[in-house]
Structure 1
Amino acid sequence: MNLLYLLLAVVQVLIGLHFIMPLILWIAGRFTGKKRPVTQAYEADYAVIVTAYQQVSLIPLVVDSILKSNYASYIIYVVADNCDISDLKFDDPRVVILRPPEVLASNTKSHFYAINRFERAHERLTIIDSDNLVHAEYFNALNRAFDQGYQAVQGVRAAKNLDSTYACLDEAGDIYYRLVDRKLMYEAGSSAALSGSGMAFTLQLYRSCLENNEISGAGFDKILQYEILNRGERIAFAEEAIVYDEKTTKTDQLVNQRSRWINTWFKYLYLGFKLMLKSVYRLSWNQFLFSILLVRPPLFMLMIISFLLFVTDLFLMPLFALYWVVAIVVFFTFVFRALSHFKADEKIYKSLKNAPLFIYFQLMALLKVRKANKISVATEHYYEEKISK
């Protein structure tokens, strides 16, 4: 019986560690997070890859935002996969429209379709989703990270729409992950997690990581970040490199999207354990911290499991229930710290009271996880906005 209690205690410590992790990273950042000196400062040439699948209605908006950026050295490659491009017309020579003759239904295939048709030898590439808008200083902020010698940089994906409770809660979760998985991880001497868009790489690194890697379904960013870390590189976090991202507004949209994300976590969970073993062998702090992030379950799963363990402790190990109280206090402290640091809109604070409903829909997504790859390869966009003149 004592062995059973010991095993239960160990399991709880490991699970609760994910709630305490922000505090550990914050403390580590005070000692290990040193900014690299600038190795070279110049205006690099970017390939901007914008991927669209079936929908192109938002393409004029994202292209317009890029063309209005305070930067000149780039070419935009719009890969319109399985799209009608008859109405896509741009006068600017920096915009190239590519329509694959066959359906690709894959992020990486779209990326390499563009790479193989680059009009010149770009030094760097940045990946933007069709529903994104780009901040005017996006490229300059990326350059400041690259100038420190990094070959991979993740920027910020901030909400462009907060027009529903679900969009606000979606952004609240993103803000928490932005602080913990990107800012604190990076400052602690590890790497910022990739988020699918608003990220940039040297062309050489991107090709070496994915060119010979056949990836099906969602989650190319999971493979990419593993490959980058496996090569001993760090992913920098550029807090001022901002793209504005469309947040989920409808329940079916939310369930389908989260179902794909949960499926991706299960699918690539093995990479976390693989990287953890390598980090121990290589004595790599960067890889070790990042491996913990990779094995962490989605937040709603962690909260449900933790609640069940807390209730169990009330009957079997009452004193151990205090551990969960401390863990949850730390977690919520950093939730509000994140909202404060990134200046969250008042709507987001008000939406938090509906968090249990948001968790419920993610449970519904979990039930659909086996069919996730059959739902769709892209999130359908509902938010509309006019191009500013």
Structure 2
Amino acid sequence: MLQGFIHIIEYALYIYLSVSVVYIAIFSVASHFFKQKKYPETDILQRFVVFIPAYKEDTVIHACVTSALCQTYPAELYDVVVISDHMQPEINALLRKERITLIELQEKESSKAKALRIATEQVKDQVYDYAVILDADNLISHHYLHELNKIASQGIKAIQTHRKAKNMNTDTAILDAAIEEMNNSIFRRGHIRLGFSSALIGSGMAFDFRWFAQNIIHAYSAGEDKELEELLLRQGIHIEYIDTLDTLDEKVQQPAAMRNQRRRWIATQLFLAFKMGSNLPSALLNRNGDYLLKTLQAFIPPRSILLGLIGIFSFVLSIFAPLSSIKWWILFILLNISLYIAIPSTMRHKYVGKIIRQSPYFIVAMIVNLFHLKGMARKFTHTQHG
């Protein structure tokens, strides 16, 4: 009786984890057939507002603002709004000398969502076509808004650019960069290639301004990008991905910082999974494929946890039930191959040794994080730089 129950539990887990691995494998392979759509030059010029939420970002904000201001795009057609929260007075004084709008906050409970809500409320009466969201540690090229304008002029309401690492100075930063590129392959290039929406990633995003002003008021969690993504997909709005337009992002450099960051992300994913699960009936009724796929994605464990769980089951069953372990080892190998090919070839060849060395610690840390998620979905955690 007990043995039969254990077999049922094992097969139930195997089916759940198999669905997760097959999902990753399909979109990882699809990403290799992705072709970036080319957008033509246009005489239509959109008016942009660039929001830069900055919580205790004194050391990095100037570089970000400089890159945002040094655009080839006409200066009269875009404004830069920095939302300074708990930054030093001398830094704010320097920022006031720049061609920007500075909004100063001293919130008791800070969050990126709150900063964006406040900033949008202050500028919503101005005439903007698109809102661009950058993190304070991001850097963008001089032609960034010029390229965004070509895409926005096609009537696309939501755009995610290619966010990639600007620093690879520690083993942790390399691992963080590799994970981000895996996600770019699976959840962006792969999704677009098979006709679905791209996932959002928190910065390097652009939205139709009217839509953004109407919907940012509904974002309250620490994962405001995922809340916006859910709203877009529920409303049937496609999210485009632009792989050729880079948003450089600072990667975490210490294991502890990465562990804390991922703990918040896991909590946000769980929050989103339950929220989207409750909306499944209407998505099914409306045949909203994007929303259904995103709901399935929300229930897929993070890749590191998948690796840990499947690896543990494979090893334990090899000792106690060798025949049953075969299917688990096949799943484990498929997952590893899928993640490996999702990393860009240049990064694989140069950093694969460091990625592999860092992975065991990261997998253990992510599994431990599962037991420390309480309240994290609504808790803002500042990422330390340097």
Corresponding residue for residue 194 of structure 1: 200
Report the equivalent of 1:351.
Answer: 354
Q: For the structure 1 residues 132 and 29, does the alpha-carbon distance in structure 2 shift closer, same or farther, using more than 3 Å as the test?
A: closer
Maintained 8 Å contact 2:162/2:244: yes
Report the Cα offset of residue 144 of structure 1: 4.0
Conserved 8 A contact 1:156-1:178:
yes
Secondary structure at the aligned position of 1:161 is classed as coil
229-238 or 115-124: bigger deviation: 115-124
Partner of 1:9: 11
Cα shift at 1:362? 2.7
Q: Displacement, 1:129? A: 0.6
> Aligned residues: percent identity?
23
Query: What residue identity is the alignment partner of 1:171?
Result: A
Task: Please give the per-residue CA displacement for 1:170-216, whole angstroms capped at 9, x wherever unaligned.
Answer: 111111111001111122121111111111100122123232x2614
2:277 counterpart (273, 276, 285): 273
| Cα distance change, pair 78–283 in 1 and its aligned pair in 2 (3 A) | same
Corresponding residue for residue 118 of structure 2? 113
Asked if the contact 1:273–1:295 (Cα under 8 Å) also holds between the matched residues in 2, the reply is no
Counterpart code for 1:338: A
Give the deviation of 1:162 after TM superposition: 0.7
TM-score (norm 2): 0.86
**After superposition, where does 1:1-389 map in structure 2 within 5 Å?**
5=7, 8-25=10-27, 42-72=44-74, 73-88=77-92, 89-90=94-95, 94-100=99-105, 102-103=107-108, 105-118=110-123, 120-211=126-217, 213=218, 215-216=220-221, 218-311=222-315, 313-314=317-318, 321-340=325-344, 343-344=346-347, 347-354=350-357, 355-370=359-374, 372=376, 377-382=381-386
| 1:260 and 1:369 in contact (8 A); partners too | yes
Report the Cα distance in structure 2 between the residues aligned to 1:95 and 1:134, rounded to whole angstroms. Answer: 16
Structure-1-length-normalised TM-score: 0.85
CA positional deviation for 1:167: 0.6
Q: Is the 8 A contact 2:53 2:84 kept in 1?
A: yes
| 1:298–1:345 distance in 2 versus 1, CA, 3 Å | closer
List gaps (5 residues or longer) in structure 1. Answer: 383-389
RMSD: 3.2
Q: How far apart are residue 33 of structure 1 and its match?
A: 9.7
Deviations 1:246-288 (A, max 9, x none): 1111122122222222222223220342344433222222222
Question: Which deviates more from structure 2 when the two are superposed, residues 116-125 or residues 219-228?
Answer: 116-125
Question: Any idea what SS the aligned residue of 2:347 has?
Answer: coil
Q: Is the 8 A contact 2:31 2:185 kept in 1?
A: no
Q: Take 1:79 and 1:329, find their aligned partners in 2: how far apart are those partners?
A: 46
Q: What amino acid is aligned across from residue 51 of structure 1 in structure 2? A: P
Residue 320 of structure 1: CA displacement?
A: 5.3
Q: Using the TM superposition, give the Cα deviation of residue 145 of structure 1 relative to its aligned residue in structure 2, in angstroms.
A: 3.6
Q: 1:46 to 1:85 in 2, by over 3 A?
A: farther
Q: Residues 378, 26 of structure 1: CA spacing in aligned structure 2 closer, same or farther, 3 A cutoff?
A: closer
Bigger mean CA deviation after superposition, 310-319 or 358-367: 310-319
Deviation of 1:13 (Å) = 2.1
Aligned residues: 379
Q: Secondary structure of the residue that 1:19 maps to in structure 2?
A: helix
